[in-house]
Amino acid sequence: MAEGAKEPVGVGTTDPEEDSPNMIVYRKIEDIVTRIQDENAGGVSIRTVKSFLSKIPSVVSGADIVQWLMKNLSVEDPAEAIHLGSLVAAHGYIFPISDHVLMLKDDGTLYRFQSPYFWPSNCWEPENTDYAIYLCKRTMQNKARLELADYEAENLARLQRAFARKWEFIFMQAEAQVKIDRKKDKAERKILDSQERAFWDVHRPVPGCVNTTEMDIRKCRRERNPHRVKKSVYGVPDDGQSQPSPVHISSQPTKKTTKEDVQKEINFLNSQLDRHCMKVSKVADSLMSYTEQFMEYDPFVSATEPSNPWISDDMSFWDLEASRDPSQQRVKKWGFSLEEALKDPAGRDQFLKFLESEFSSENLRFWLAVQDLKRRPLQDVSSRAQEIWQEFLAEGAPSPINLDSHSYERTSQNIKDPGRYSYEDAQEHIFKLMKSDSYARFLRSNIYQDLLLARKKGKSLTGKRLTGLMQSS
Amino acid sequence: MRSPLTPEMATQEVQLNETLAHLKTESETLKTKLEEERAKLHDVELHQVAEKVEGLGQFVMKTRRTLKGHGNKVLCMDWCKDKRRIVSSSQDGKVIVWDAFTTNKEHAVTMPCTWVMACAYAPSGCAVACGGLDNKCSVYPLSLDKNENLAAKKKSVAMHTNYLSACSFTNSDMQILTSSGDGTCALWDVESGQLLQSFHGHAADVLCLDLAPSETGNTFVSGGCDKKANVWDMRSGQCIQSFETHESDINSVRYYPSGDAFASGSDDATCRLYDLRADREVAIYSKESIIFGVSSVDFSLSGRLLFGGYNDYTINVWDVLKGTRVSILFGHENRVSTLRVSPDGTAFCTGSWDHTLRIWA
């Protein structure tokens, strides 16, 4: 093992990638483990435990760690503390002294803290040559506690095949490491050996365990060491035959801020200053009343009637929604706003039906046609826009809509170069018209009121009839 | 090696730098002024106003279905409008369409690249879109004939100069909105593959986007590695509002159901709520014990609950109004990478690096 086990490598140097996503988490974990170890500031007591014929230096129990987490991070549920502690372990910051599996147990299991030298924030990406040296030197040590686990033996066999030609070199490196290790104090060696093992448990995890060194490829390019200059755990010089890095996305050249960029920013800020904004108190009231109105429709908050299909495996709830007869509750929603009514196809149909009965359906039909226009493929847009003009706005149109002269002017200009958004102004105007006029009348109409109340009558009657039929058969 | 400057060029360069510095100062002054103006309207906190709202009871949310079949990390998923089918994409290059209710796989496509980071279901239910490291967004029509090779009918729609991070159909099968590692978003016509509008303004990778829920709305919000969430006008391509309070990448953005606000999830381990009318962050959802980043967020139907999928393998459920966490859900064995609530709000689906998807209700 390289010298200076307790000296962090790279920490303290100026690091432009300090705010990369992985580093943010590492720093938070490091803050936690530093605090846990600080016995003067409410940390756990790290002690030597006597066991059979030997002493186990520098350990702490899992239960103590869980207690500390609960107390110092305001965690009420032990399960949550255990989960967080297990993640701290999985990332290699604490480890069980007698197991390769990095998780935290809420009992007397003994744990040790990882040396800052091996912290993930040092951006280790150890090569297989290093791993081979490590496994090789383990076989040279004649201690039961250092015997290879099955998966390690398999790994070693695989590495021996892969590095067949340079095995002599690896063997020599391993021997050199053993020599260095022998010079150390016995107690110190126990600690260092376990820390080294824990390091490899992170970078070459037990099969089936999560490899916490895996990265989100979208965040890779901003990691420290973008050129992947790898340092060896055992000081082995890079012979240029190192493993290729995981796919590395080509970095965008960092754009220098230009005058135009800043000018654009200034224009944007000025436009924001002109914006009329609402007070937070008003906005809060609005959010609250919206949520309150819809909570009865929210399956996570209010139990659905019939039952939630995902919970009961019964699809009646969906069958009902799809049926031609909308439920009372659903009809009630149409009354919340014109938007809600139009969002629901059944609501749209009923509103259209009402307008047709009044011979004033052209507004809604225009609105629907413009919606449809926006959904067309590009090549259809021009012709469809013309059709809409002919149907609703041209002189002598079969379904003339009532636009104010200003919107009419704007729209007829737009139509000269017809596009998806040619009717935006007109559509907005017509929507406001419907909202203030025909929508209100719709809600008072028989068509709507019947639906809002009809379900009640219909349901109980049908229910009684059906039961009667069943009983008599 | 720079060529030697003439005295005139040197003066010009100094002048240019002065103008740039001058502009930067002006920009900073405006930012401060804007913050002052907005702060005047920040008269109360949302959670204070929400004290009078009745608290939510205990929640029993469990995994109701587990979908197994992907060979590597699940990166993205989307619901079909029929409320039971979903499409998911994975690092192994596979895109799978499932009937989540029965857990049956209905279609599978193998993409030519690994890391398919984005996928979306078409509103009609007849097609899916996906893309990732190939820098493209492709549309696959779903055939009723199970034997038909879906890859044969593939349509290449969007082309970016870096990875595709997210995609979404607009209100029809005919347009797709994309975001990319190249720092831009773009709107495309599916049939012709033509670029209809591009959106420039982010200073780094754009990681996520969400369309405003309004029937007539023409806006969407995007989040990026520049820690900004931007609201865009689809017609003009202009950024109409911008929010920068997160301390790291914004991995997910989702509109509040009324469209007046949106939530974001970030690598800084917080979720935040931004209101468009106040032009301000109005809530922050965080806990001392939550230190891993948020990968994805979504609201329950009424907007009362915010679900967050985290890199610590859990889902945290937040009371949007009161700002408190109401539940923590365990189950996944690796990062939760994607989370969406179903169209009728009866369940939400999560996808994870543990190769599985789970349906929760």
How far is the alpha carbon of A281 from chain B, nearest alpha carbon, in Å? 6
Residues of chain A contacting residue B19, judged by C-beta atoms under 8 Å apart: 259
Helices A21-37 and A62-72, interaxial angle, to 10°? 110
Band (A280; pLDDT cuts 50, 70, 90): very high
DSSP A350-379: HHHHHHHHTT-THHHHHHHHHHHHHTS-HH
Average pLDDT for chain A: 87
Q: Which of B291, B315, B355 to probe the A interface (max A CBs under 10 A)?
A: B291
CB contact under 8 A, B207 and A218: yes
Q: What pLDDT is stored for residue A242 in this prediction?
A: 52
Task: Of A50-59, A286-295, A443-452, give the lowest mean pLDDT range.
Answer: A50-59
- Among A180-184, A276-280, B77-81, the least confident range: A180-184
Contact B301 A299 (CB under 8 A): yes
Contact between A259 and B19 using a beta-carbon 8 Å cutoff: yes
Pairwise CA distance, residues B221 & B186, whole Å: 12
Give the pLDDT of residue B1: 53
Q: Is the peptide bond before A306 cis (omega within 30 degrees of 0)?
A: yes
Question: For A20, which residue in chain B has the nearest alpha carbon?
Answer: B248
Distance from the A48 Cα atom to the nearest Cα atom in chain B, whole angstroms: 29
Quick one: pLDDT band at residue A237, thresholds 50, 70, 90? confident
Q: Which of A14-23, A38-47, A400-409, B45-54 has the lowest mean pLDDT?
A: A14-23
Q: How confident is the model at residue B150 (pLDDT cuts 50, 70, 90)?
A: confident
Residue B2: count of CB within 10 angstroms of its CB = 4
Yes or no, beta carbons of B174 and A292 under 8 Å apart = no
**Residue B144 pLDDT grade (very low, low, confident, very high; cuts 50, 70, 90):** confident
Q: What percent of chain B has pLDDT over 70?
A: 98
Residue type, B331: G
Disruptive mutation site among A80, A282, A310, A363 for chain B (greatest number of B CBs within 10 Å): A310
Across all residues in chain B, what is the average pLDDT? 95
Is residue B267 pLDDT above 70, yes or no?
A: yes
Mutate which: B202, B301, B337, B360, vs A, most A CBs within 10 A = B301
Q: Which helix (H) or strand (E) holds B31?
A: helix B7-40
B221 and B230 Cβ atoms separated by less than 8 Å:
yes
Query: What pLDDT does A463 receive?
Result: 41
- Separation CA B136–CA B216 (nearest Å): 28
Q: Which of B192, B293, B333 sits opposite A21 (nearest CB)?
A: B293
pLDDT class of B3 with cuts at 50, 70, 90: low
Q: Do B215 and A281 touch (CB under 8 A)?
A: no
- Chain A CB contacts of B170 under 8 Å are 375
- Asked if the Cβ–Cβ distance from A298 to B30 is below 8 Å, we say no
Given this model, what pLDDT does residue A254 score? 56
> What is the pLDDT, as a whole number, of residue B149?
77
What's the whole-number mean pLDDT along residues A363-375? 94
A321 or B342, higher pLDDT: B342
- Are residues B43 and A280, on separate chains, in Cβ contact within 8 Å? yes
Residues on chain A touching B30 (C-beta within 8 angstroms): 266, 269-270, 273
The pLDDT of residue A466: 43
Which pLDDT does position A130 carry in this prediction? 96
Angle between helices A362-374 and A424-436 (to 10 degrees): 140
Helix (H) or strand (E) holding B185: strand B184-189
Q: How far is A2 from chain B (nearest CA, A)?
A: 31
Q: Kindly indicate the confidence band of residue A239, based on its pLDDT and cuts at 50, 70 and 90.
A: low
Mean pLDDT of B46-72: 96
B190 CB neighbours in chain A (<8 A) are 377
CA distance A74 to A69: 8
pLDDT tens column, A86-123: 999 999 999 999 999 999 999 999 999 999 999 999 98
CB contact under 8 A, B293 and A339: no
A261 has pLDDT over 50: yes
- Per DSSP bridges, beta strands B104-110 and B336-341 are unpaired
Confidence of residue B153 (pLDDT cuts 50, 70, 90): confident
Write down the pLDDT at residue A187. 86
Residue B61 tokens read as 């949310």
Enumerate the β-bridge partners of residue B89: B76, B95
Q: How far apart are CA B83 and CA B344, in angstroms?
A: 6
Please determine, for residue A66, whether its predicted confidence score (pLDDT) is greater than 90: yes
> If pLDDT is split at 50, 70 and 90, which confidence band does A462 have?
very low
Q: Is the pLDDT of residue A13 over 70?
A: no
Q: Report the percent of chain A where pLDDT is more than 90.
A: 73
Angle formed at CA A454 by CA A452 and CA A458, multiple of 5 degrees: 145
* pLDDT the model gives residue A465: 43
Q: Distance between CA atoms of B269 and A268, rounded to whole angstroms?
A: 29
Q: CA A192, CA A221: separation in Å to the nearest integer?
A: 33
| C-alpha to C-alpha distance for B79 and B301, rounded to whole angstroms | 14
Q: Which of A287, A296, A420 to mutate to test the interface with B (most CBs of B within 10 A)?
A: A287
Contacts of A265 in chain B (CB under 8 A): 27
> Is the Cβ–Cβ distance between A341 and A351 less than 8 Å?
yes
pLDDT reported for residue B18: 74
Entry pTM: 0.92
Q: Is the pLDDT at A6 greater than 70, yes or no?
A: no
Instruction: Please tell me the distance from the alpha carbon of residue B76 to that of residue B88, in angstroms, as a whole number.
Output: 6
CA distance A445 to chain B (A): 24
Do B22 and B322 contact (CB within 8 A), yes or no? Answer: no
Q: Check residue A8 and give its pLDDT.
A: 37
Residue of B nearest to A286 (CA): B260
For residue A354, give every residue at least 6 positions away whose Cβ sits within 8 Å of its Cβ, in sequence order, or none.
A438, A441, A442, A445, A447, A448
Tell me the chain A residues in contact with residue B218 when contact means C-beta distances shorter than 8 Å. 421, 424
Using the predicted structure, report yes or no on whether residue A224 has a pLDDT greater than 70.
Answer: no
The stretch B204-229 carries a mean pLDDT of 94
Span B100-104, mean pLDDT? 98
Give the whole-angstrom CA distance, residue B130 versus residue B176. Answer: 11
Could you say which DSSP state residue B80 is in? -
Percentages (nearest 5) of helix, strand, coil residues in chain A: 60, 5, 35
Using the beta-carbon criterion (under 8 Å), do B282 and A280 form an inter-chain contact? yes
Arithmetic mean of pLDDT, B169-197: 96
Residues of A in contact with B292 (CB under 8 A): 25, 87
Inter-residue contact A39 to A234 (CB < 8 Å): no
pLDDT bin (cut points 50, 70, 90) of residue A460 is: very low
Distance CA B74, CA B335 (A): 10
Question: Taking each helix axis from N to C terminus, what angle separates A128-140 and A186-203, rounded to the nearest 10 degrees?
Answer: 140
Q: Which of B267, B272, B286, B339 to mutate to test the interface with A (most CBs of A within 10 A)?
A: B267
Shortest CA gap A324–chain B (Å): 16
Mean pLDDT of A121-148: 87
Q: Nearest 5°: phi and psi at A43?
A: -80, 175
